[in-house]
Amino acid sequence: MLNTSSELITIKHRVLGGVIHYEVWKRDAPLGYLIIHSLFAGTSRGGIRLASDISEEEVHILAEGMTLKFGILGLPQGGAKAGIRADPDAPEQEREAMLSEFLGALAPVLRQRTFIPDPTSEPQTRWFAGH
């Protein structure tokens, strides 16, 4: 467990059929998910989706799609995807706060380079530049 911003953050980790699942919980509700569908040379790559109704199953399907995409393109990386339960139309400051909480909770995974997020939005890019 990790205590961040006076809020209790819990990370649940499991491996199902070779697929690595991380669930990040804030209090009693899921904050988001990280699914590492495949590893290539110990790493995976994928984007981060913000959606208020995102589910673990949806993130799993998107991670599998990243594996297929990289395989078809012949790119040397595994597929993964992260999803954060947040309103994508929320004010930028609120989106940045959710992103910071989620990625901060997953900092050990990010430091190991097991998952390399693909920052495609400005708040994500700024978060990575600052950490």
Which one is catalytic: 12, 26, 69, 81?
A: 81
24 phi/psi in degrees, rounded to 5: -105, 120
Burial class (CB in 10 A: 0-12, 13-18, 19+), 91: exposed
Tell me if residue 81 is catalytic: yes
Per-residue b or e along 13-42, where b marks 16 or more CB atoms closer than 10 Å to that residue's CB = eeeeeebbbbbbbbeeebbbbbbbbbbeee
Indicate which residues carry an active-site annotation: 81
